[in-house]
A and B are shown apart, each in its own frame.
Chain A
Amino acid sequence: MARVERKCSARVYYLTMINFVLRRLASAVPTVFLVITISFFLMRFAPGGPFDLERPLPPETMANIMKTYQLDQPLWIQYIHYLGNAVRGDFGPSFIYKDNTVAQLIAQALPYSVQIGSTALLIALVGGVILGTTAALRQNGIIDIALMSVSTVGITVPTFVMGPVLTLIFALILGWLPAGGWGDGSFRQLALPITVLALPQIAIIARLTRGSMIEALHTDHIRTAKAYGLPSRVVVITHALRGAMLPVVSYLAPAAAALLTGSAVVESIFTIPGIGRFFVLGALNRDYPLVMATVVIVAVFVIVFNLLVDIAYGLLDPRVRHD
């Protein structure tokens, strides 16, 4: 096949990259629209409503409430309204937290979730890559087997078990760390929830890194690097690890979106005022605007992180910069 010689100069590459980012953002619009539409109708078709209490409200009161929240209108009109408001950044009032709009609720809660989520992600990435690489370099050795067994535990033990167990040990028995709450927001205060969030991710990233690192260490170009007497540090970090990071980077997009948008379980165990609890509370209470807003947030995070991952991919691997 004819070899097309196209050298990507830095300038051309960045221009292409900007073009790429803009087009990806544009294509995100229909995605978000679809997410909103599907969740809007799914939500409404689920049985029950926000004001169904155990003891039914008097019909006049009910009618009033329905009118206030425009729930008496036909579904498609509500949908159009919702879309129109959402475009303007208005996600409506919360049905449950009556004094707040959904936007306010989320604006208050999101920073808490993002803070512990991003710390956990960073720890998971650094820890996972180091552990995975260590295991790969000692493939089938004692350290490798030990690390991989521990990581299986990390993946399989659910957070609602890990959370209370760690609290019991480090907060109640040893008394080293606070058991919960946001407190002053210091690392010590948040060490337990961050650890519980990070542990399964460390385990997953360590396994991914190990697998791709073992593969990378057996490639021909690693043999070349060794044959040319390059120091082990250069062979492992410069040549093997960079290639081995590609699958890890792909995994980071969904992982980051999940971590940064808060975990309902971890946030309730450690009484963190993040947005994780809104998923559960909103869904249980049929607080339509709240659920919709959390869904949109997650969708946007997923889209943004996927985009970041694709950019990172281009930076890591020159082969995908072409075409």
Chain B
Amino acid sequence: MADMNDANSTVLTVKDLKVNFSTPDGEVQAVKGTSFSVKKGETLAIVGESGSGKSQTMMAIMGLLAANGKVSGSARYGNTEMIGADLGRLNAVRGSKITMIFQEPMTSLDPLYTIGKQIAEPLVHHRGMGKRQARARVLELLKLVGIPEPERRIDSYPHEMSGGQRQRVMIAMALANEPDLLIADEPTTALDVTIQAQILDLLADLQKRFGMAIVLITHDLGVVKHVADRVVVMRRGEIVEQGTRDAIFEHAQHDYTKMLLASEPSGSKAAPPANAPVILEGRNVTVDFEIGSGILFKTSRKFRAVDSVNVTLRQGQTIGIVGESGSGKSTLGRALLRLLESDGRYRFDTSDISLLDRKAMRPFRRQMQLVFQDPYGSLSPRQTVGEIITEGLYVHEPNLTKADRDKRAIEALKEVGLDPAARNRYPHEFSGGQRQRIAIARSMILKPKVVILDEPTSALDRSVQRQVIELLRDLQQKHDLSYVFISHDLSVIRAISDHVIVMKSGRIVEEGPTDDIFESPAQDYTKALIAAAFTH
């Protein structure tokens, strides 16, 4: 590690950086005076949960704050003061000496230009390269970041590439001018676990070869443990603790750091008795989607999202369905609830529900509930929480009086650990975790037997995730519920389910009791998934 006292070994020095946003509700202090430095060739991880100010700190340094943001303090790169620098001076550093990659590989590239042209732009503007020279360099870079067939892919548009490839393209762009510092803002959060591991390995490898410093902004302590030299822990705009990785992970001083470290999902679920009755069953579940029909061609192709899958859910059981994006896990969940057209036989309790139409399904609907991933999009912003959670009662128990419904709402909110007064407020007044509790209350009020949970904790910070998982466990025990828990997150699946189904490309790769799957996976794909999720 670099010498702490050598000023030449420091790439970036941040002192007393403050960021304020003026909002209709007044000034919001997003960053409240942070100081840290980044040394040559090291990886500094800035860790924190959402709202900790970790991204805004780096955005402010790069001059990328939203129009309502104000920054004060100092951030020096060499002799350049970045805070308050004019655009010319800022642009001499951005994209040349300090570069950035972002969380959203899908939208961070301009959809209207080829990746070759976009990677070349910093070369052309900072180094004055000609077209041909820049293209040669871009090809080199694409090879470097492991894009297959670079000669062909250089003329591809972003939409022709996968998320992982786009993130590689961003990395190529970041490396183009051999920067001294690369800022990676949640670079792997939007990617599947196996891809995440590849991208992190690539970054580590490139750092070794080129010796640039990396600032890694992340909420994921697993990633931090894997790649960081030093760690800065942020909460609510302040640095609560900083130190070497080992110091932070082994001797965390601050309670918040300890809490973060302890918030990895833990625990396990015991399987229900072997003779527990089957509550929901899907046989040969197959779902086809029509794709195609753009402007130029009118074609219709079929895409098989779920291919002959069997699922048997017993009373009190939690089946975890894991898979990467596009594996068909969410589609399977919806098919099991008969929310989309599919082939297959379905049984709920003792009734065959394969052929029931909408109306005939209705009595079963209340017993089979669905909770979505996005606690922001799935609650109507124009209804009070009370209206949202009692809506199902109008359909399934139309004879209830207003007072009865209110009583049920209070019960449901108490059950999920919210203040019953919440029912007179609107969803935007609640945090992500609280909203997910509201969504769970909306299901629980109907007293269901089966709940399908589609990535219910994926949009939440780890510490909140843990609370939601505990809540789900409590509810399951109390009401003898059966869950199908869909997630890409293996640590969550491991903590909550007693039976795991691993899906890939619409098929089941492997299934079995949770412990067996995690301790002795039989299939290579499962092994790769587990390795990617737990080694860093």
Q: Which residues of A approach B to under 8 Å, CB–CB?
A: 1-3, 5-7, 16-17, 19-20, 139, 219-221, 223-232, 234, 238-239, 242-243, 310, 313-314, 316-323
Contact = CB atoms under 8 A, between A and B. Distances in A.
Given A230-B121, A322-B296, A221 B90 contact: no
A121 B67 CA distance: 34
Contacts of B109: 221, 224
Contacts of B305: 1
Interface string B142-168: 000000000010011101111000000
Given A7-B156, A314-B295, A323-B294, A2 B95 contact: no
Contacts of A228: 94-95, 99-100, 121-122, 125, 173
18 contacts: A1-B291, A1-B305, A16-B297, A20-B296, A139-B67, A224-B100, A227-B95, A228-B99, A228-B122, A228-B173, A229-B93, A229-B122, A231-B91, A232-B87, A239-B113, A323-B296, A323-B297, A323-B299
Given A316-B112, A320-B294, 15 more contacts: A5-B160, A6-B160, A221-B111, A224-B108, A226-B63, A228-B95, A228-B121, A228-B122, A229-B96, A231-B91, A231-B125, A239-B110, A239-B113, A243-B110, A243-B111
B107 interface: yes
B148 to A, nearest CB: 10
Interface of chain B, main secondary structure: loop
B534 interface: no
Contacts of B236: none
B36 interface: no
Interface of chain A, main secondary structure: helix
Nearest to A320: B295
Contacts of A243: 110-112
A141 to B, nearest CB: 11
Contacts of B152: 7
Contact of B110 (A7, A17, A221): A221
Interface residues of B, number: 49
A139 B1 CA distance: 47
Nearest to B157: A318
B303 A230 contact: no
B319 to A, nearest CB: 24
Contact of B107 (A19, A219, A225, A231): A219
Contacts of B90: 229
A319 B170 CA distance: 19
B326 interface: yes
B102 A220 contact: yes
B87 A223 contact: no
B122 to A, nearest CB: 5
B64 A319 contact: no
B293 A323 contact: yes
B378 to A, nearest CB: 22
A125 B70 CA distance: 36
B62 interface: yes
B108 A229 contact: no
Interface string B114-155: 000000011001100000000000000000000000001001
Interface in B53-73: 62-64, 67
B330 to A, nearest CB: 12
A17 B297 CA distance: 10
Contacts of B99: 227-228
Contact of A227 (B64, B107, B156, B291): B64
Contact of B155 (A7, A242, A314): A7
A9 to B, nearest CB: 9
B293 A230 contact: no
B343 interface: no
Contacts of B259: none
B165 to A, nearest CB: 9
B51 interface: no
Nearest to A220: B107
A17 B296 CA distance: 8
Q: Kindly list the 5 A-B residue pairs having the minimum CB-CB distance in the complex, ordered from nearest.
A: A323-B294, A228-B95, A229-B94, A229-B95, A229-B91
Contacts of A310: 295
B57 to A, nearest CB: 15
B303 A223 contact: no
Contact of A229 (B92, B297, B326): B92
B104 interface: yes
Given A7-B156, A221-B109, A227-B99, A321 B296 contact: yes
Contact of B108 (A7, A223, A230, A313): A223
Contacts of A323: 292-297, 299
A230 B160 contact: no
B155 A220 contact: no
